Chain A
Amino acid sequence: MSLFYMSLLEIILWVILLFAIVCVIRVIKGPTIWDRVLGFSIISSKLVLIIAIFSSMRNTAYLLDLAIIYTLFGFLGEIFLITFLSKNVKERG
């Protein structure tokens, strides 16, 4: 199926990384700023998955703490971003 031996987890890792990169296009193309924030939150949730799969590939559990903390602080950061945006954004359309 693939040229060199790649376990299923590694293939899934590359596929989800590809999806995250495709979401960057939505962040760039997004007409309104809210699409950009949505793209940002989708990418960060995909990154959590990438961390989880990577830690499963290495059979170590300590990387999952990274994913948990990243989810929490990603949520925190996004709340502050949104509250700032809602006061300062001026819809052009």
Chain B
Amino acid sequence: MENLLHIISNIFIVVGTFFILIGVIAIFKFKDFFSRILSTSKIDTVGAITILSGLAIRHGISWFSAKTILLMILILIINPLKSHTLLRYAVISGHKNKKAKGNKEVAK
């Protein structure tokens, strides 16, 4: 039973790390700010939640898992708020989309 929990939690943690790898690639692949923030904030939240659920499974029913679940709920609430505020104030303060290679029609 013990190493079954460890195997499952290891799978979750590796998959979460793979998500975060995609997030880091997305930061450098996209050329303009808007598509960059759209992808990284979502992928980062998913990666964080996958890794934290893996950690919670590893410790079974304990204070550690309770705190990890609380941390997951907080991250689920706070990350979208962060990205929304950042995006909203960027648009308000006049951040326009320059003529990036990828999306010419946006620049019009």
| Main secondary structure on B side of the interface with A | helix
Name B67's contact: one of A25, A68, A72, A85 (CB within 8 Å): A68
Binding site for B on A (CB under 8 A): 8-9, 12, 15-16, 19, 22-23, 25-26, 32, 34-35, 37-39, 41-42, 45-46, 48-49, 52-53, 55-56, 59, 61, 64-65, 67-68, 71-72, 75, 78-79, 82-83, 85-87, 89, 91, 93
B90-A34 in contact (CB<8A): yes
Asked if A16 contacts B86 (CB within 8 A), the reply is no
Count: A-B pairs, CB below 8 Å: 120
On whether the beta carbons of B78 and A52 are closer than 8 Å, the reply is no
Given A22-B24, A38-B33, A38-B86, does the pair A65, B67 have CB atoms closer than 8 Å?
yes
Question: Which of chain A's residues has its CB closest to B13's CB?
Answer: A12
Distance A41 CA – B41 CA, assembled complex (angstroms):
9
Supplied contacts A34-B95, A86-B90, 4 more A-B pairs, CB within 8 Å: A8-B13, A32-B33, A42-B44, A89-B93
With both beta carbons as reference points, the residue of chain B lying nearest to A22 in the complex is identified as B24
Give the interface SS of chain A, mostly helix, strand, loop or mixed: helix
**Contacting residues, chain B, for A71 (C-beta < 8 A):** 71, 74-75, 78
Contact residues of B between 49 and 108, Cβ < 8 Å to A? 51-52, 55, 58-59, 62-64, 67-68, 70-71, 74-75, 78-79, 81-83, 85-86, 89-90, 92-96, 98
Residues of chain B touching chain A, judged by Cβ–Cβ distance below 8 Å, are: 10, 13-14, 17, 20-21, 23-24, 27-28, 33, 36-37, 40-41, 44, 47-48, 51-52, 55, 58-59, 62-64, 67-68, 70-71, 74-75, 78-79, 81-83, 85-86, 89-90, 92-96, 98
